[in-house]
């Protein structure tokens, strides 16, 4: 499976680098191609770089690693290329000072993204984990496996995303349909509050105990 990473921020670079090291064929992309090329070079493991449109054409799975506020314009432009693609949404729609959700409870960032690209298969995942965890390429904290909660309406798309989550060593937790993102996204806000507001730092995560 080829994974296209859209965006050159910490989340995209870190997950893309880890996925490449785990055997995925990763192509980095960004509006600034040089940033994508730098990410690919740093990642190694035969990772490549391309324009955003070319990366999407090549891949079956797309990591949408851009700020939520930029998603509507970007996806509207790319909509014809995204038909049938699996879109992994790790975004969080936060207000300007990160103190709360900009949207939530009656909808979610993931559902709003799905409205823009209804022909794609959107799966919420990776939004409750700090970028530093991905950058460290560790899925455990003090021996406890971190859980990644994911949600989506397409069974096969969810299975592909769950496989990526598991390949990275995380505990993949099926949280139900895409509407469950309304519950997953507030969990990310709690993580931010615990990490920054209450001083626990970014080497933290949630573990779902069965």
When pLDDT is cut at 50, 70 and 90, the band that residue 100 belongs to is confident
The pLDDT of residue 137: 96
Is residue 127's pLDDT more than 80? yes
Q: Is residue 203 part of a domain?
A: no
104 pLDDT exceeds 90?
no
Number of separate domains in the chain: 1
How far CA 40 is from CA of 16, 36, 84, 164, 181, in Å, comes to 9, 6, 25, 19, 30
pTM of the model: 0.95
Determine if residue 8 is left, alpha or beta; phi over 0 gives left, psi from -120 to 50 gives alpha, anything else beta.
Answer: alpha
| Position 96 pLDDT exceeds 80 | no
- For 7-57, what is each residue's pLDDT tens digit? 999 999 999 999 999 999 999 999 999 999 999 999 999 999 999 999 999
**Residue 149 falls within a domain, yes or no?**
yes
pLDDT at position 185: 95
pLDDT in tens, 156-207: 999 999 999 999 999 999 999 999 999 999 999 999 999 999 999 999 999 9
Q: What is the pLDDT of residue 94?
A: 76
Measured distance CA(14)–CA(136) in Å, rounded: 8
Q: Is residue 189 part of a domain?
A: yes
Flag whether 204 is in a domain.
no
Task: Give a yes or no: residue 208 inside a domain.
Answer: no
Residue 98 scores a pLDDT above 90: no
Question: What percent of the chain lies above the pLDDT cut of 70?
Answer: 99
Mean pLDDT of 91-98: 79
Give the Cα separation of 172 and 119 in Å (integer).
25
> Which CATH number fits the domain that encloses residue 167?
3.40.50.720
pLDDT at 113 over 80: yes
Closest Cα to residue 8, out of 89, 67, 91? 67
- For 17, the domain range is 2-197
Residue at 210 is within a domain: no
Q: If you ran DSSP here, which 8-state letter would residue 101 be given?
A: B
- Name the token pair of 168: 């990275």
**Tens of pLDDT, residues 181-195:** 999 999 999 999 999
What is the reported pLDDT for 95? 74
Q: Cβ(134)–Cβ(160) under 8 Å?
A: no
């Amino acid at each position: 499976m080829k994974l296209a990473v859209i965006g050159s921020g910490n989340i995209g670079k870190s997950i893309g680098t880890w996925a490449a090291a785990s055997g995925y064929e990763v192509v980095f992309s960004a509006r600034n191609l040089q940033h994508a090329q730098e990410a690919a070079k740093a990642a190694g493991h035969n990772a490549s770089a391309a324009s955003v449109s070319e990366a999407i054409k090549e891949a079956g799975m797309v990591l949408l690693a851009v700020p939520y506020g930029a998603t509507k314009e970007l996806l509207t432009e790319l909509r014809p290329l995204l038909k049938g693609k699996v879109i992994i949404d790790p975004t969080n729609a936060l207000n300007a000072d990160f103190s709360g959700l900009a949207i939530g409870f009656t909808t979610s960032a993931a559902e709003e993204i799905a409205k823009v690209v209804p022909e794609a298969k959107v799966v919420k995942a990776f939004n409750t984990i700090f970028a530093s965890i991905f950058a460290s390429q560790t899925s455990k904290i003090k021996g406890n496996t971190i859980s990644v909660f994911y949600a989506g309406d397409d069974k096969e798309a969810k299975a592909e995303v769950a496989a990526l989550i598991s390949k990275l060593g995380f505990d993949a937790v099926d949280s139900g349909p895409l509407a469950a993102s309304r519950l997953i996204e507030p969990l990310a806000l709690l993580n931010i509050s615990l990490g920054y507001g209450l001083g626990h730092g970014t080497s933290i995560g949630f573990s779902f105990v069965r």
